[in-house]
Structure 1
Amino acid sequence: MRPSVTIVIPFYNCGYVNQALQSALEQTYGPLEIIVVDDGSTTHTEMLQPYLPYIHYLGKANGGTASALNHGIRHASGEYIAWLSSDDTYHKDKINNQVSFMVEQGTYISHTNFNLINQYSQITNPQAAAVFPSMPEFYRFFQQGNPVNGCTVMFKKELFTHIGLFDELLPYTHDLDMWYRVMLAGYPFPFLNEPLVNYRWHDEMGTQKHWPAVEREYNITQARYRDRFSQLLNGLSS
């Protein structure tokens, strides 16, 4: 029997959520559960109506993406969990290919390549992820940026019992904080070089609208892990 998967979609006032949901429903994999966590939306909620018979809808007060993800993870029944932002979309084989990859690798977490798309869903940069020749090179890149797109990541739910959920005090860098905890705990973080996510770059995205705050928080998160991660890097061989 194939392992079950839950897709968690945090939703807050996003006019692209119908496209995200459609891509989740068109997955070729099963058994599959889709959870939409409405993080206190005041607009675009009518877009959810046609999909309600096919999803689990969870409403909550506004608390940010990390709190919405955690709420979905706590309610997820799947052995594996995938994160899909409400403005992005999945390739139809995303779940199938990534589960197969993770079972083959025997890993608790993985990430994939992705395409950049615009507000009209046109691909503007295919296979946009940075590809590294080795795991040490991938790790070293964290000293200058975050090379992992969160919506390409799949987790075994069991992982969260070992390293905890997303840090809800970090509205912008909860993903980077999680990747550091994964690596420092000794979990491999393999890369599937297939563009299985369409990542939408548009004017309303949080990183665009709140860049000064994002940058400040990024620097704080980097400082939090700098010493421990440097020790990890020193132990790696190319």
Structure 2
Amino acid sequence: MEDLISIITPTYNCGKFISETIESVLNQSYQNWEMIILDDCSTDNTKEVVAKYSKVDSRIKYYLFESNSGAARARTKAMELAKGKYNAFLDSDDLWTEDKLERQLYFMKKNNYAFTCTAYEQIDEIGNLLNKKIQTKIKTDYNGVLLSCPIGNSTVMYDVERLGKFTVPNIRKRNDDALWLQILKKEKHIYGMSEVLMRYRVRTNSISSNKIGLIKYHWQLYREIEHLSIIRSTFHICYWVFLKIFKIK
């Protein structure tokens, strides 16, 4: 019997995009999955959009927080509810290629990898390709992720039976990076696939589009969560700003 893959999808006010995201899951060549959608108290029509799918496909499971708690807690709760041997992460505005799960699972089993990611490309808000591909690294350890995280959130899959479940550090942004660092304290490397298997939607009003505003979240990650020294935290902040200013991959 094929292994069950749990798809972890926190969402907040993504009614405009989540239908496409769900369709990209329904179109997967690998079909033994469950999709855990954890709604962080959306105020738009997200619930109604998801209901159209969950009513006809029991693999799509919708849960609603009673109050807004943040993406980190939503992701943690979704992982608690997941029953799969593997967890795969998919944000509610991103898209997968049709063979994403099949190819990534084969890659993991063939090489006996427990923690993997893939390359991806960017699309705009209406789904047009921006002709920008983001490659990952063949393998990256804890220090490599600290220095320059090469991981696209919606490309990650890991083996739950081998590594267990994790609590996502509760920061508003960069909580995905914080989760990868938690996993890398248990698994030495994350291994990257060169194939583009995800499309990342660039949204002008997202938190991550404000690069200056992100600095405080990086500082919080380094100092409060990873407990790095002030000197090392300052180095990582300066290095990140340098990369963004000069747009170095």
Q: Identify the TM-score tier after normalising by the shorter chain.
A: 0.7 to 0.9
- In 2 relative to 1, CA 121–13 (structure 1 residues): closer, same or farther, beyond 3 Å? same
Cα distance in 2 for residues equivalent to 1:68 and 1:180: 18
**Other-structure match for 2:95:** 89
| One-letter code aligned to 1:188 | H
1:155 corresponds to which of 155, 158, 164: 158
The answer to whether the 8 A contact 1:36-1:72 is kept is yes
Identity %: 24
Please provide the CA RMSD for this pair: 2.2
TM score, norm. by length of structure 1: 0.84
**Other-structure match for 1:75:** 81
* Deviation of 1:166 (Å): 1.0
**Other-structure match for 1:3:** 3
| One-letter code aligned to 1:165 | T
**Other-structure match for 2:13:** 13
**Other-structure match for 1:236:** none
2:107 corresponds to which of 101, 113, 134: 101
- In 2 relative to 1, CA 225–97 (structure 1 residues): closer, same or farther, beyond 3 Å? farther
Deviations for 1:16-67, whole angstroms, at most 9, x for unmatched residues?
A: 1111111111111021111211110010223223212221111113111111
Cα distance in 1 for residues equivalent to 2:112 and 2:154: 20
**Other-structure match for 1:202:** 203
**Other-structure match for 1:57:** 62
| One-letter code aligned to 1:100 | Y
TM score, norm. by length of structure 2: 0.81
Cα distance in 2 for residues equivalent to 1:165 and 1:148: 18
Cα distance in 1 for residues equivalent to 2:119 and 2:213: 27
- In 2 relative to 1, CA 159–216 (structure 1 residues): closer, same or farther, beyond 3 Å? farther
Cα distance in 2 for residues equivalent to 1:225 and 1:114: 31
The answer to whether the 8 A contact 2:85-2:159 is kept is yes
SS in 2 for 1:158: helix
- In 2 relative to 1, CA 104–25 (structure 1 residues): closer, same or farther, beyond 3 Å? same
Cα distance in 1 for residues equivalent to 2:139 and 2:35: 32
* Deviation of 1:204 (Å): 2.5
**Other-structure match for 1:171:** 172
* Deviation of 1:104 (Å): 1.4
Provide the aligned length of Structure 1 versus Structure 2: 222
| One-letter code aligned to 2:64 | G
* Deviation of 1:7 (Å): 1.0
